[in-house]
């Protein structure tokens, strides 16, 4: 049985996924400052749920370009996560699994070791990558397979990482510098240039991206349709922005409304057409924004080509999509279509994505904690006090 004192902390640049006692909860990994709230102007992580007006929120992010740079902000968020309003744990009685980005800087790793051992005094810690936790989630779903390739599309960038028998093939690891943050910023720029100044409305525009955008299965055809006028344009929609009086989240307005109810109240809205497909398309063609890198399907093929030939058929058969930016409608189908067109005809391709791809790594960590050899990967507080940073370097190397 899983040790109830084990906590999984999947630390992302946008959100923190927390796994404890078989439950997973996601909270924002930032501190919000409100320009309009008088009662309370600063909201730490999930406290944003109590904010009545999300317009003009100022973000204080601990991560920049995917790496932890502001320890003061991150410490406040972790204090909130471990407190009574969230996990409500005693670190001295708890073991914790932490995630870090690939190619993390040694100084950041040392800072995390010091903070979790010396400040929080956790019983033991295991520091690894989110894709490694996803691999153990894959092992639980497909126990007869020992090869897979994890595609982690997150907030700052996308990582494609092959695994074989629990070991990541580092020489085949590929990064694409495109993630959810870039897509939201691009959408803000488009809307601000064409319709309404929304450069300060990151929170609202991120909701617009989630509610209205989708991955096109035929991009050229959809963009041609987006040029049509009126009802002839299948992509055209009106997105009603929240007023934080009667509505607290925007929504796509129905094209056909009952007579007499159309102008019942004043609504501030934006019109969306080609933006709905052109924004997610950046994941497949970063060169559209001048980023000289491969799209996700090409990067998958490139990563597999760098693996030993005997593993390649198994990797094509086990492609796992994870991360919050995978949640666009048609994302899995588009990746499958393009990978199939690029892969050798003799190989079977299978793309798998869970219903909650952003939580997949965290749930994989919970699944890993149920295995027999799980405890041997931890470094205890006593071992750290005896050998210091060198013990962390030895213990977590290659995990």
At residue 38, the pLDDT reads: 64
> Is the pLDDT assigned to residue 307 strictly greater than 50?
yes
The position carrying tokens 């943050």 is: 181
Of the chain, the percentage scoring pLDDT greater than 90 comes to: 80
Cα dihedral sign, 229-230-232-236: positive
Query: pLDDT-derived band of residue 128, with 50, 70 and 90 as boundaries?
Result: very high
Read off the pLDDT of each residue in 352-379 and give the average, rounded to a whole number: 92
pLDDT, tens digit, 9 for 90 and up, residues 194-248: 999 999 899 999 999 999 999 999 999 999 999 999 889 999 999 999 988 888 8
The rounded mean pLDDT for the chain is: 92
Over residues 366-372, mean pLDDT? 89
Query: What pTM was computed for the model?
Result: 0.92
Span(s) in the chain for CATH 3.90.640.10: 180-280
Chain centroid to Cα 47, Å, comes to 20
Residue 87, by phi and psi: left (phi above 0), alpha (psi -120 to 50) or beta? alpha
How many C-beta neighbours within 10 Å does residue 290 have? 6
In this prediction, residue 134 carries a pLDDT of: 97
Q: How confident is the model at residue 265 (pLDDT cuts 50, 70, 90)?
A: low
User: What's the pLDDT score for residue 53?
Assistant: 82
Backbone angles phi, psi at 133, to 5 degrees: -65, -35
Q: How confident is the model at residue 4 (pLDDT cuts 50, 70, 90)?
A: low
Pick the CATH number of 180-280 from 3.40.980.20, 2.40.10.10, 3.90.1150.10, 3.90.640.10: 3.90.640.10
Alpha carbon distance 161, 49 (integer Å): 35
Backbone angles phi, psi at 350, to 5 degrees: -140, 120
- Kindly give the interhelix angle for 130-141 and 360-368, rounded to the nearest 10 degrees: 70
pLDDT in tens, 270-290: 999 999 999 999 999 999 999
How far apart, in whole angstroms, are the C-alpha atoms of residue 156 and residue 178? 6
Q: What would the pLDDT profile of 7-42 be if each residue is shown by its tens digit?
A: 999 999 999 999 998 899 999 999 998 877 766 678
pLDDT at 257 over 80: no
Say what the pLDDT of residue 34 is: 83
Query: Where along the chain do the CATH 3.30.420.40 domains lie?
Result: 6-129+359-396, 134-178+290-358
134-178+290-358 to CATH, choices 3.40.50.2300, 3.30.420.40, 3.40.710.10, 2.40.10.120: 3.30.420.40
pLDDT computed for residue 1 by the predictor: 39
pLDDT band at 158 (very low <50, low <70, confident <90, very high): very high
Per CATH, the homologous superfamily of domain 6-129+359-396 is ATPase, nucleotide binding domain (3.30.420.40)
- Beta-carbon count within 10 A of 133 CB: 29
């Amino acid at each position: 049985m899983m040790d109830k004192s084990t906590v999984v902390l999947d630390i992302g640049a946008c959100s923190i996924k927390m796994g404890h006692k078989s439950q997973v909860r996601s909270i924002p990994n930032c501190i919000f400052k409100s320009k309009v709230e008088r009662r309370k102007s600063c909201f730490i992580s999930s406290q944003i749920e109590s904010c009545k007006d999300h317009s003009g929120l100022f973000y204080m992010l601990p991560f920049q370009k995917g790496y932890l740079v502001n320890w003061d902000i991150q410490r406040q968020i972790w204090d909130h996560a471990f407190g009574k309003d969230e996990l409500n744990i005693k670190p001295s009685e708890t073991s914790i699994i932490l995630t870090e980005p690939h190619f993390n800087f040694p100084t950041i790793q040392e800072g995390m070791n010091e903070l979790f051992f010396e400040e929080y005094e956790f019983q033991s810690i295991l520091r690894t990558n989110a894709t490694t936790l996803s691999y153990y989630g894959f092992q639980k779903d497909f126990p007869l397979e020992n090869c897979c390739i994890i595609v982690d599309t997150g907030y700052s960038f996308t990582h494609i990482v092959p695994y074989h028998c629990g070991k990541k093939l580092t020489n085949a690891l590929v990064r694409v510098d495109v993630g959810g943050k870039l897509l939201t910023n691009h959408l803000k720029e488009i809307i601000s240039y064409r319709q309404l100044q929304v450069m300060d409305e990151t929170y609202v525009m991120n909701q617009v991206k989630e509610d209205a955008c989708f991955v096109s299965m035929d991009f050229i055809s959809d963009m041609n349709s987006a040029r049509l006028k009126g009802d002839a344009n299948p992509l055209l929609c009106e997105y009603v922005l929240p007023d934080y009086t009667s509505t607290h989240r925007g929504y796509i307005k129905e094209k056909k409304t009952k007579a007499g109810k159309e102008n019942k109240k004043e609504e501030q809205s934006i019109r969306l057409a080609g933006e709905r497909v052109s924004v997610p398309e950046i994941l497949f063609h970063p060169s559209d924004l001048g980023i000289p890198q491969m799209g996700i399907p090409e990067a998958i093929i490139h990563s597999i080509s760098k693996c030993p030939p005997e593993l390649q058929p198994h990797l094509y058969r086990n492609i796992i999509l994870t991360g919050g930016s995978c949640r666009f409608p048609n994302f899995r189908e588009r990746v499958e279509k393009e990978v199939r067109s690029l892969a050798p005809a003799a190989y079977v391709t299978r793309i798998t994505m869970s219903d909650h791809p952003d939580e997949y790594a965290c749930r994989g960590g919970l699944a890993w904690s149920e295995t027999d050899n799980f405890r041997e990967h931890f470094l205890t507080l006593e071992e750290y006090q005896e050998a210091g940073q060198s013990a962390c370097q030895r213990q977590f190397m290659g995990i």
